């Protein structure tokens, strides 16, 4: 049986659909399983990766785990997984771990700690390192729907937006095909785009004008203070600044794992256009 952690996430939802379509036994875990919407024949279980007391029951009878990267008790989680007989862990990590200062970067370090704990364990481990999720653009939905400009400190910062469906399909491939296992994969979308270019594409797909308001990093932090803690906000700002005017290197890993090219940001925007319309 395969355990999916972080069951309410977009990648988890698409991965569940793939596993279910192929009649593979799966259990979906969440810190609040009552909010999960699952097929009737798919069991759910409470798993809070910050609460080791929930680990044993969630891992009982599990052969493979799709693991959301939560570092607070990762050593104990991996030990419990090994004791339960888990054979394979797929870590949903981040390409941020490849940065020059990952050990001191608040965004990267948690992912790196999870990677290291799983990779250095006796359990076969496969690591997926997506760059920037296309879904990050969802943070712009509220101002766009309100007809307000999108505040950006670095509108010329590049990223490699990847569709959550592609990440799920990559996870499905490594969970079900042994030849892909015990590897570290960097995943990207098919294009390196600036935030400004992404907003232009959203404007085209939704058929409505979207404007950008360039703000200082401090102004952006103040706007987002209710939603993003300072440490994370600073890490994001540093990342965007480092990519300002610098196109992001791309990989073809999605095609290697899934057999098809990665989906474009425009296709993601089309899939989610309703989220941005007035």
**In 3-state terms, what secondary structure has residue 193?**
strand
Domain residue limits, the chain: 2-130
- Please work out, in degrees rounded to the nearest 5, the angle formed at the alpha carbon of residue 25 by the alpha carbons of 22 and 28: 110
Q: Which residues of 147-180 are buried (b: 16+ CB within 10 A; e: fewer)?
A: eebbbbbbbebbbbbbbbbbbbbbbbbbbeeeeb
> Are 172 and 234 a contacting pair, CB within 8 Å?
no
pLDDT at 25: 97
pLDDT at 149: 96
Q: What's the rounded mean pLDDT across residues 167-187?
A: 98
Q: Domain spanning 2-130 has what CATH number? A: 3.40.50.720
pLDDT at 103: 84
The model's confidence at residue 101, banded by pLDDT at 50, 70 and 90, is confident
> Are 248 and 159 a contacting pair, CB within 8 Å?
yes
pLDDT at 179: 97
Q: Which of 19-23, 101-105, 144-148, 214-218 has the lowest mean pLDDT?
A: 101-105
Q: What are the Cα distances from residue 120, in Å, to 27, 114, 123, 126, 183? A: 25, 10, 8, 12, 13
Quick check: 10 pLDDT over 90?
A: yes
Single pTM value for the model: 0.95
């Amino acid at each position: 049986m395969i355990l999916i952690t972080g069951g309410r996430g977009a990648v988890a939802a698409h991965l569940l659909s793939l596993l279910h379509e192929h009649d593979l036994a799966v259990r979906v875990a969440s810190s609040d399983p009552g909010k999960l919407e699952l097929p009737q024949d798919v069991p759910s279980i409470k798993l809070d990766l910050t609460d080791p007391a929930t680990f044993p029951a969630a891992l009982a009878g599990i052969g493979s785990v799709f693991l959301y990267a939560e570092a607070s008790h990762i050593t104990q989680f991996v030990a419990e997984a090994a004791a339960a007989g888990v054979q394979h862990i797929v870590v949903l990590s981040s390409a941020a771990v490849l940065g020059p200062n990952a050990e001191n970067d608040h965004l990267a370090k948690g992912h790196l700690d999870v990677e290291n704990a799983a990779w250095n364990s006796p359990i076969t481990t496969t690591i997926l390192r997506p760059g920037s999720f296309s879904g990050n653009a969802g943070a712009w939905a509220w101002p766009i729907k309100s007809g307000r400009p999108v505040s950006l400190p670095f509108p010329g910062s590049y990223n490699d937006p990847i569709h959550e469906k592609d990440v799920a399909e990559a996870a499905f491939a490594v969970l079900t095909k042994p030849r892909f296992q015990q590897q570290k994969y960097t995943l990207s979308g098919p294009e390196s785009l600036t935030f400004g270019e992404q907003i232009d594409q959203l404007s085209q797909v939704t058929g409505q004008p979207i404007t950008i308001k360039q703000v200082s990093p401090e102004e952006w932090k103040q706007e987002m203070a209710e939603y993003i803690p300072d440490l994370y906000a600073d890490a994001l700002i540093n990342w965007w600044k480092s990519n300002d005017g610098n196109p992001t290197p791309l990989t073809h890993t999605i095609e290697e794992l899934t057999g098809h090219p990665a989906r474009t940001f425009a296709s993601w925007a089309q899939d989610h256009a309703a989220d941005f319309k007035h």
